[in-house]
Amino acid sequence: MNAENGSGKESASPLVIRDLTVAYHRKPVIWDIDYEAPAGRLIAIVGPNGAGKSTLLAACLDLVPRVSGEILVFGQPFRRQRGRVGYVPQRESVDWDFPVSALDVVAMGLYRRIGWCRPVTARYRKLALEALDRVGMAHLAHRQIRQLSGGQQQRVFLARALVQEADLYLMDEPFAGVDAATERAIVELLRNMRAAGKTVLAVHHDLQTVAEYFDDVVLLNMRLIAAGPVEQVFTIDNLRRTYGGKLALLDRVGHRMSMDVQLER
Amino acid sequence: MWESLDSWIAATGAVAASACALPGCFLLLRRQSLTGDAISHAALPGIVLAFLAAQMARQAGWLSDAGYEASRQLFLLAGAVVLGVGCAVGSEWVQRRGGVEPSAALGVVFITLFAVGLVLLRLIADQVDLDPDCVLYGTLENSVLDTVPLGSLVVPRALLRHLALFLLNLVLIGLFFKELRIASFDPGLANAMGIPAWLMHYLLMTMTAFTAVSVFESVGSILVIAMLIVPAATAYLLTDRLVVMLVLAALLAAASAWLGHAAALFVPRLVFPWLGYPQVTDASTSGMMAVVAGALLVAALLAGPRYGWVAQFLRRRRLATRIATEDLLAWLYRNAERGQALLPLESGRISQVTGMSRTRVRRAVGQLVRRRWIERTPDGLRLTAAGHTAAVNLVRAHRLWESFLAERLDVPAARLHESAERIEHYLDSQMLDELEAELQLPERDPHGSLIPRQARDE
Amino acid sequence: MSRSGSPATGFERNRLLGSAAICAVVGVLSWAAWIPLAEGAGPLQETGNSQSSGVGGSTSPFWGSHGLAFDYNTLVVWSGAVALGAGGGVVGVFLLLRKQALLGDVVSHAALPGVGLAFLVLELVRAGSGKWVPGLLLGAALAGFTGIAASTLLRRGTRLKDDAVLAVVLSVYFGLGIVLLTIVQRLPGGNQAGLPHFIYGKAAALRMSDVQVISAVVTLAVLVCLLLFKELRLLAFDERFAAAQGWPVVALDLVLKVLVVAIAVVGLQGVGLLLVVAVLIVPPAAARFWTERLDRMVAISAAFGALAGLAGVAISASWPRVATGATIALCDSVLFALSMALGVERGLLRRWWHLYAARRRQDEHHLLRACYELLAGERGGVAPQELCDGVVRVDGLVRWRGWSPQKLRRLLERGQRRGWIRPDPQGWRLTPAGAAEACRHVRNHRLWELYLVKHADVAIDLADRRADDIEHVLDPELVAMLEEELETGGGLPSSPHRVATEPTSATG
């Protein structure tokens, strides 16, 4: 409840998670996570469905309330470091029928920098166009987003994150439902980002490609199973612990906590 | 002030309201609450057109005057049902073909039909005796004057009509109960099981339109919209079972109609003379019925047994108290472990040491004493035997959980206590046994304290 | 789809132009409404029977056989209706895109008890002051807010779903409004207060002061929408991202709701609470059919709203008995129906045309492929020149595809018009252009077939039919990808299955 211990220590790590517990309707979905992300690495968050991967990202972005714990981005709370964090939400989270073009969506990444009430001027559109070019989508900048394929839509989202020129990127399933060409393009992009010293945390589903695409891996299943360099952590044993069913006990305790208000007599 | 006529008014309203509440339950569960609203709006042009058609038929000589009088209601009903269902169908069409968002499509279609109705109504105002106000407010007070003898009673015709409607709805729902339920809950599954979900959908739409239109004339469209959804919503807040929900909704609807009429008669008479307007003696009955339905909803919201806010607040407080007592109990036990069996009586000092607020400590101590888990001695508080048992189980939960966290979740030792403090209250004895088995009967927790074995109540 | 986007610089200019146009319209209208007053054109006649009659009714000599005359009353009513339509159109766009289209309906219904209560309070403070319109509108706005607050509370605090919450709030508030209205009408002066106007609107009897209020509110609302254009766009498109970026989404949402309440409340006077929702959602829904750009959608929606106001007032003025509010709503609906049919981006006609054009294109492709396969069978790598030498016989074509003679004739004529085939005494011959085209389509078809057989495990005999559906939509980029994938080296591959060719006269 009060997690005051150990704060205030300056840390250069892009993301430090201490003792994080997040609950939906009082039911904890991730328990007591402790993690420190190394800088300049591509990090995959891997785990079965319902393991709390997206929740972990949401908690890092202050989108969901925390039960306990603290999160430091480059040594400070997220609130003060918003500009240094880029976010790529899941593709299904928005209405692709919305009347905006790919360029408009990318420009949304610049709104913070543009500021209140100011229009998106030519200078910013040029920046957005450059970001689209980096993901190979410049020729489709003026298409309405519904007319893009799944992979292209994902690239638009990536461009929107790129244009923020952040140092830490949080991506929710950037490879979900994209074609092979887009997958290659995204990997290429991630490597360029790493070369530029950025840190990327991405929720990833495809176990086959984890070792190929990423440097580090975070194995998550309601609690942190293991984290570290792929070659050390991404072992059969650890995977079995991750995917070998949830800890039934965590689930049941969580259920009791969510129901307790109702069961209390 | 309450005359026999008022009873008839209230009864007619109550039966009409109950008839609406039945299909309303399914609308609510199918997330089509606004469709009821839309249908009752869209029925207006149907009514007007039916009036026109009937009139034209009479003028053309196809209908005798007597036949016109007899079939007028039927015309009305048919016209309104057609347009009401047409509204539902039309909005689905606009939604699918035009790619318009569902609620907007519904809005566009019903507002169009309603506007058509209003325009027509004004255009032919001198040919038909339809007053738009009457469509809104209804003429409940007048409709009970039209009576038929029934045995020794003289019963309003409207009451009988509404009763028939209520029974019809009841029978329909009874016949198709499980189909409606499954089609509302999971249309895909219904289709897979050979129950045509679309048929159930249109059955419900037709039932809604028919009901809305039948009671329209006497109670007005406000009451129809309110009674379709509000009692159903109230019932939904009170129960988890569909049958109970249907019964409750019908009863609540009837109650709000009855109370509504009473409120329309008495409330203005109580309030307005006091404000200096003695001429205000009553208010719109159907409006008041809707308001009372809303008031019942608020009451259910506050006082519902399971989802009510008061109940939830009380349960939350009880939970907080339980956690406080358990924390205190565990603290007493740990002190006893260290050989300090007696504790100060003063709540202020306990609160200082434990970090709990004074009132919490006082409430917790009271609770513990009442349960005979601790006793007050002249020198201080002391655990009783029963208290000791309870405390042992708690401390066991705490330390087992700490072991679990350390071993399975690799939580650093410094942070174990806090997490276990939170969780210990939620572990029942079965979970503890499993924990113990999984950790292979650990002797000591990660801090090195002894984990007590389970203590049985004597 | 192939419509190229305008250059990036044109984009912002469009938006600015659009906003300027809206502001200009609103500004001019409010100004126009002032002129007669400034010139002392005399007080207008207060038409008390406005509820049951259209503009002017029988009291105005300017209407009827003279057609539309620009008298003072008309100008006033027109300004009000146009301003309201434009404002509703602008605000409604964001409401629609946020998928809360019917919130406007709830707000307008919830405003009614506010009007009644405001009247009571005003009367209690000072007898006879109940008709003070700004006071009534203030009451309406406050009640509208409590309606929104109540629905938020119900949504958050109970397990009721969105639609049920809206229906409950709407009907209970409306019931309360009716109760208060019946009470007010029993008060001294209550009958003349014209509170029922708020239900049906009194567009036909709008007064100068009403129009000033409407124009002021609408101008303000439009200005806020334009200033916060990009913020509202972000809110409506991706609230989560907006929150992660640190935009105050709750505050922005509140701003939007304030705007809705403002429009709904001034709309009460114009078209009445039952029809406010028409002003708020029909023009935006109609505008959506015409464009895929938010800025243009806002401009079009505003224009539609204004147009409906204009036309509605004009129509109800020509027919004395037509209710103005309902006519405005109907004009909105007509615009919606026209848009749904004709809209250049998403209209039904365009979709049907696309479908029709696609089918025609498909038939042409099939004809060319039939010619190729009749001439060359399943062989790949055939040079176009070789194809030009052969003659395709009509009976072969009929057998190949099962076309009806009439359809085939039309198809052949079309091919000839396009310069792909020319008649020959024995049948038809491919022209060089036609041969090249045929090679292209056959290549697409076979590439896709190969891909299906190789990667999608489609049975060979099914591959032909599956490929039939896809080959027509393969763009060059995709074809290049396929070739890379299948390593066919850019040439025309052989068919993976036998092509059933009838004896053709491949003579030299």
Residue in C with minimal Cα distance to A95: C237
> Is the same domain home to C269 and C367?
no
Q: Where are the alpha helices (DSSP H) in C271-323?
A: 276-287, 294-318
What percent of chain B has a predicted confidence (pLDDT) above 70?
95
Dmax (CA) for chain B in angstroms is: 107
- Asked if B293 reaches chain A (Cβ–Cβ under 8 Å), the answer is no
Q: Are A88 and A153 in contact (CB under 8 A)?
A: no
> Is the same domain home to C215 and C334?
yes
> Is the same domain home to C294 and C377?
no
- Asked if A23 reaches chain C (Cβ–Cβ under 8 Å), the answer is no
Kindly report the three-state secondary structure assignment for every residue of B52-71. Answer: HHHHHHHHCCCCCHHHHHHH
Of chain A, the end-to-end C-alpha distance in Å amounts to 24
Mean pLDDT across B345-367: 76
- By Cβ distance, the residue of C102, C174, C325 closest to B34 is C102
Amino acid at C19: S
Round to whole Å and give the CA distance between C330 and C278: 9
Round to whole Å and give the CA distance between B11 and B158: 10
Round to whole Å and give the CA distance between C20 and B215: 51
- Cross-chain Cβ contact C322/B122 below 8 Å: yes
What residues of C are in contact with residue B237 (Cβ under 8 Å)?
A: 158-160
> Is the same domain home to C135 and C226?
yes
- Cross-chain Cβ contact B318/A265 below 8 Å: yes
Nearest residue to A232 (alpha-carbon basis) of A223, A219, A249: A219
Sheet strands (E) in C330-458: 391-392, 421-424, 427-430
**Burial class of residue B249 (count of CB atoms within 10 Å of its CB; 0-12, 13-18, 19+):** buried
> Is the same domain home to C334 and C389?
no
Measured in whole angstroms, how far is the alpha carbon of residue A95 from the centre of its chain? 20
Round to whole Å and give the CA distance between C266 and A237: 68
How much is the pLDDT for A10? 43
How much is the pLDDT for B165? 93
How much is the pLDDT for C460? 66
Tell me the two tokens of residue C270: 């114009």
Nearest residue to C88 (alpha-carbon basis) of C268, C208, C343: C268
Q: Are A20 and A69 in contact (CB under 8 A)?
A: yes
- Asked if A195 reaches chain C (Cβ–Cβ under 8 Å), the answer is no
> Is the same domain home to C418 and C492?
yes
Q: Using the predicted structure, report yes or no on whether residue B85 has a pLDDT greater than 70.
A: yes
Query: C44 falls in which pLDDT band (50, 70, 90)?
Result: very low
Strand bridging mode A168-171 / A199-203: parallel
Instruction: Answer whether residue C314 is part of any domain.
Output: yes
Strand bridging mode A168-171 / A85-88: parallel
Query: C393 falls in which pLDDT band (50, 70, 90)?
Result: confident
Half-sphere exposure of C504 (CA within 13 A, CB side): 29
In Å, how far is A21's CA from the nearest CA of chain B? 9
Instruction: Answer whether residue C100 is part of any domain.
Output: yes
Round to whole Å and give the CA distance between C50 and C77: 12
Sign of CA dihedral A147, C8, A159, A65: negative
At C104-162, the pLDDT tens digits run 999 999 999 999 999 989 988 887 777 788 899 999 999 999 999 999 999 988 889 99
> Which of the listed ranges C28-37, C73-82, C232-241, C486-495 does the model predict with the highest average pLDDT?
C232-241
Round to whole Å and give the CA distance between B408 and B420: 14
Query: C52 has which bridge partners?
Result: none
Q: Using the predicted structure, report yes or no on whether residue B364 has a pLDDT greater than 70.
A: yes
- By Cβ distance, the residue of C8, C229, C293 closest to A99 is C293
A115 or B358, greater pLDDT: A115
Kindly report the three-state secondary structure assignment for every residue of chain B. Answer: CCCHHHHHHHHHHHHHHHHHHHHHHHHHHCCCHHHHHHHHHHHHHHHHHHHHHHHHHHHCCCCCHHHHHHHHHHHHHHHHHHHHHHHHHHHHHHHHHHCCCHHHHHHHHHHHHHHHHHHHHHHCCCCCCCCHHHHHHCCHHHHCCCEEEECCEEEEHHHHHHHHHHHHHHHHHHHCHHHHHHHHHCHHHHHHCCCCHHHHHHHHHHHHHHHHHHHHHHHHHHHHHHHHHHHHHHHHHHCCCHHHHHHHHHHHHHHHHHHHHHHHHHHHHHHHHHHCCCCCCCCCHHHHHHHHHHHHHHHHHHHCCCCCHHHHHHHHHHHHHHHHHHHHHHHHHHHHHCCCCCECCCHHHHHHHHCCCHHHHHHHHHHHHHCCCEEEECCEEEECHHHHHHHHHHHHHHHHHHHHHHHHCCCCHHHHHHHHHHHHHHCCHHHHHHHHHHCCCCCECCCCCECCCCCCCC
What residues of A are in contact with residue C8 (Cβ under 8 Å)?
A: 103, 122, 125-126, 129, 141-142
Helix (H, G, I), strand (E, B) or coil at A114: helix
Query: B288 falls in which pLDDT band (50, 70, 90)?
Result: very high
> Is the same domain home to C414 and C316?
no
Round to whole Å and give the CA distance between A239 and A219: 8
Q: Are B43 and B83 in contact (CB under 8 A)?
A: yes
Mean pLDDT across C380-400: 78
What residues of A are in contact with residue B404 (Cβ under 8 Å)?
A: 249
Domain layout of chain B by residue ranges: 4-235, 312-383
- Cross-chain Cβ contact A111/C97 below 8 Å: no
In Å, how far is A32's CA from the nearest CA of chain C? 23
What residues of A are in contact with residue B414 (Cβ under 8 Å)?
A: 5-6
B146 or C101, greater pLDDT: C101
Nearest residue to C140 (alpha-carbon basis) of C260, C5, C53, C20: C260
- Cross-chain Cβ contact B405/A32 below 8 Å: yes
Identify the domain boundary among C345, C360, C383.
Answer: C345
Count of other CB atoms within 10 angstroms of residue A96 = 17
Q: Average pLDDT over chain C, rounded to whole?
A: 80
Phi (first) and psi of residue B444, to 5 degrees: -125, 155
ipTM: 0.89
Q: What residues contact residue C457 under an 8 Å CB cut-off, 6+ apart?
A: none
Identify the domain boundary among C328, C345, C362.
Answer: C345
Identify the domain boundary among C302, C322, C345.
Answer: C345
> Is the same domain home to C54 and C127?
yes
Query: C457 falls in which pLDDT band (50, 70, 90)?
Result: low
Tell me the two tokens of residue C104: 């406007």
Round to whole Å and give the CA distance between C147 and C135: 18
Reading chain A (265 residues) residue by residue, the pLDDT tens digits are 333 344 444 446 899 998 898 988 778 888 888 899 999 999 999 998 888 899 999 999 999 989 888 899 998 999 888 889 999 999 888 999 999 999 999 999 999 899 888 889 999 999 999 999 999 899 999 999 998 988 899 999 999 999 999 999 999 999 988 888 889 889 999 999 999 999 999 999 888 899 999 999 999 988 888 899 999 999 888 888 888 765 667 777 777 777 665 555 4
Round to whole Å and give the CA distance between B94 and B106: 8
Q: Are B47 and B77 in contact (CB under 8 A)?
A: no
How much is the pLDDT for B409? 74
Instruction: Give the Å distances, CA to CA, from B125 to A180, B118, B132, C327.
Output: 68, 10, 10, 16
Instruction: Answer whether residue C23 is part of any domain.
Output: yes
Query: A202 has which bridge partners?
Result: A44, A171
In Å, how far is B251's CA from the nearest CA of chain A? 26
User: Subunits touching C (CB < 8 Å, at least 3 pairs)?
Assistant: A, B
- By Cβ distance, the residue of C161, C322, C348 closest to B119 is C322
What residues of A are in contact with residue C231 (Cβ under 8 Å)?
A: 111, 116-117
- Cross-chain Cβ contact B418/A1 below 8 Å: yes
Instruction: Give the Å distances, CA to CA, from A261 to B220, B311, B313, C465.
Output: 42, 10, 9, 60
Nearest residue to B210 (alpha-carbon basis) of B83, B108, B89: B83
> For chain C, how many structural domains are there in total?
2
Round to whole Å and give the CA distance between C484 and C471: 17
Query: C466 has which bridge partners?
Result: none
Query: A169 has which bridge partners?
Result: A86, A200
- Cross-chain Cβ contact A249/B415 below 8 Å: no
Query: B110 falls in which pLDDT band (50, 70, 90)?
Result: very high
Tell me the two tokens of residue C491: 């040439």
Instruction: Answer whether residue C442 is part of any domain.
Output: yes
Q: Using the predicted structure, report yes or no on whether residue C64 has a pLDDT greater than 70.
A: no
> Is the same domain home to C297 and C260?
yes
- Cross-chain Cβ contact B427/A253 below 8 Å: yes
Q: Average pLDDT over chain B, rounded to whole?
A: 85
Mean pLDDT across B86-104: 91
Residue positions counted in chain C: 508
> Is the same domain home to C359 and C331?
no
- Cross-chain Cβ contact C171/B284 below 8 Å: no
Tell me the two tokens of residue B396: 């066991």
Instruction: Answer whether residue C3 is part of any domain.
Output: no
- Cross-chain Cβ contact A19/B415 below 8 Å: yes
B87-98 b/e (C-beta count within 10 Å ≥ 16 → b): bbebbbebbeeb
- What's domain B312-383's architecture? Orthogonal Bundle (1.10)
Q: Is the pTM of this model over 0.80?
A: yes
Round to whole Å and give the CA distance between B421 and B363: 19
- Cross-chain Cβ contact A87/C297 below 8 Å: no
At B375-396, the pLDDT tens digits run 887 777 788 888 888 888 888 8
Tell me the two tokens of residue A113: 């920098």
How much is the pLDDT for C27? 61
How much is the pLDDT for B335? 80
Query: C52 falls in which pLDDT band (50, 70, 90)?
Result: very low
Q: Where are the alpha helices (DSSP H) in C319-346?
A: 324-342
Sign of CA dihedral B421, B426, B430, B435: negative
Mutation choice for A interface testing from C3, C13, C228, C245 by most A CBs within 10 A: C245
Q: Using the predicted structure, report yes or no on whether residue B158 has a pLDDT greater than 50.
A: yes
- Structural domain of residue C295, as residue ranges? 10-345
Q: Using the predicted structure, report yes or no on whether residue B37 has a pLDDT greater than 60.
A: yes
Round to whole Å and give the CA distance between A137 and A103: 10
Kindly compute the dihedral angle of the four CA atoms of residues A120, A125, A126, A130, in this order, to the nearest 10 degrees. Answer: 140
How much is the pLDDT for C58? 39
C324: left (phi over 0), alpha (psi -120 to 50) or beta: alpha
Instruction: Give the Å distances, CA to CA, from B185 to B33, B125, B181, C163, C168.
Output: 15, 45, 6, 16, 21
- Asked if B408 reaches chain A (Cβ–Cβ under 8 Å), the answer is yes
Mutation choice for A interface testing from B319, B405, B418, B422 by most A CBs within 10 A: B418
> Is the same domain home to C309 and C376?
no
Round to whole Å and give the CA distance between C92 and C105: 12
> Is the same domain home to C123 and C271?
yes
Mean pLDDT across B269-284: 83
> Strand order in C421-424's β-sheet?
C391-392, C427-430, C421-424
- Asked if B438 reaches chain A (Cβ–Cβ under 8 Å), the answer is yes
A contact residues 41-80, partner C, Cβ 8 Å cutoff: 61-63, 79
Phi (first) and psi of residue B126, to 5 degrees: -85, -10
Instruction: Answer whether residue C4 is part of any domain.
Output: no
Q: What is the CATH number of the domain that holds C455?
A: 1.10.10.10
